Amino acid sequence: MLDYAALSALAAVVREGSFDRAAQALHVTPSAISQRIRLLEERMGCALVLRGQPCQPTEAGRRLCQHVDHVQLLEQELHGALPTLSSDAPIRPRLPIAVNADSLATWLAPALASYAAQAPVLMDVAVDDQDHTAQWLRSGAVLAAVTASARPAAGCNSQPLGAMRYVAAASPAFMARHFPDGVDVASLSLAPSLQFNAKDDLQARWVRLYWGKPVELPRHTLPSAQAFVTAGLAGMGWGLHPQALIEGHLAQGSLVELVPKRPLDVPLHWQQARVASRLLGQLTQHVVTAARTALQPV
């Protein structure tokens, strides 16, 4: 049998990022946390936590944390079905998921809020590029993810959500300054673009799609969906924006498309661990229902 007090200590260290904060969360001393993890590592025969700022789990540590998340969800459901099981009030389990920033900034946040309002869980949302969120599932760091990959990660189910539509847009002043004679390869290679982070290749993908060749784009990096729009409005650069996020600006003319009717549709999928959990199933229902309304059919 696994030592669940030790597993809870491990999960708390990974979640909180340090032994001290984990001790505060579990209402024990830091030395108790250290002892529990040391004994667990001795039993497993390998390191489970990389000490640092913040502390990071090893591969084995991630797998054990995923197991803890599964068990806590199932225990929560058991408390609901058998309220006399324990006199102690059940702890709200953590439900970790990974999503892309643009989904979170548009259609996904209301779905998560609707779910969390009626589910006895605490949402733990990690943000990454949609091409990389599947890695969070493979590592065991999360139980579900919005991802660009249709192929399910090991131990997961996958279902299509629809496509998020992006449009390349900039302010009218930026267009007049950088594209006075229209948008082409030469002007794109000189005009500053906006990039969410180093993983963001939407701008480059859009250029390849419509011009058939890669172009080295000058770029500003802005890791915030709202700041991305603000920078575009201020004339800092052009970028691929979620259509839903800038529809009002396009209607008002404060942003204009670089080339009309040339969107980029990015298919999204929902992947979830195959744990028999009613709570996780309810989350999936909320996400899928919201996506059907907000996203483009593939």
CA distance 282 to 285: 5
Q: What is the pLDDT of residue 58?
A: 86
Structural contact between residues 207 and 187, judged by C-beta atoms closer than 8 angstroms = no
Please tell me whether residue 201 adopts helix, strand or coil conformation: coil
With cut-offs at 50, 70 and 90, classify the pLDDT of residue 80: low
Structural contact between residues 165 and 296, judged by C-beta atoms closer than 8 angstroms = yes
CA 263 to chain centre: 23
Hey, what amino acid is at 202? L
Least confidently predicted of 74-83, 147-156, 245-254, 255-264: 74-83
Angle at CA 14, nearest 5°, toward 54 and 72? 160
CA 196 to chain centre: 14
Hey, what amino acid is at 161? L
With cut-offs at 50, 70 and 90, classify the pLDDT of residue 60: confident
Q: What is the pLDDT of residues 151-206, one digit of tens each?
A: 998 888 999 999 999 999 999 999 999 999 999 999 999 999 999 999 999 999 99
Q: What is the pLDDT of residue 128?
A: 92
The predicted model gives 144-154 an average pLDDT of 92
More confident residue, 175 or 90: 175
Torsion of CA 4, 76, 65, 223, to 10 degrees: -150
Q: Which among 85, 88, 90, 153 has a CA at the least distance from the CA of 122? A: 90
Q: Which among 100, 111, 211 has a CA at the least distance from the CA of 166? A: 100
What global pTM score does this model have? 0.80
Please tell me whether residue 179 adopts helix, strand or coil conformation: coil
Structural contact between residues 266 and 164, judged by C-beta atoms closer than 8 angstroms = yes
Q: What is the pLDDT of residue 1?
A: 63
Q: What is the pLDDT of residue 166?
A: 98
Please tell me whether residue 10 adopts helix, strand or coil conformation: helix
CA distance 193 to 232: 9
Structural contact between residues 279 and 121, judged by C-beta atoms closer than 8 angstroms = yes
Q: How many CB atoms lie within 10 A of CB 11?
A: 25
> What radius of gyration, in Å, describes the C-alpha atoms of the chain?
23
Q: Which among 276, 269, 266 has a CA at the least distance from the CA of 242? A: 266
Q: What is the pLDDT of residue 11?
A: 84
CA distance 50 to 111: 35
Torsions phi, psi for 256 (to 5 deg) = -130, 150
Quote the mean pLDDT of the chain: 90
Q: What is the pLDDT of residues 208-234, one digit of tens each?
A: 999 999 999 999 999 998 899 999 999
With cut-offs at 50, 70 and 90, classify the pLDDT of residue 14: confident
Domains of the chain, each with CATH number or no CATH? 1-91 (1.10.10.10), 164-266 (3.40.190.10)
Quick check: 68 pLDDT over 90? no
Percent of all residues in the chain with a pLDDT value above 90, rounded to a whole number:
60
With cut-offs at 50, 70 and 90, classify the pLDDT of residue 63: confident
Residue 294 makes CB contacts below 8 A (sequence gap 6+) with 106, 107, 162, 244
Percent of all residues in the chain with a pLDDT value above 70, rounded to a whole number:
94
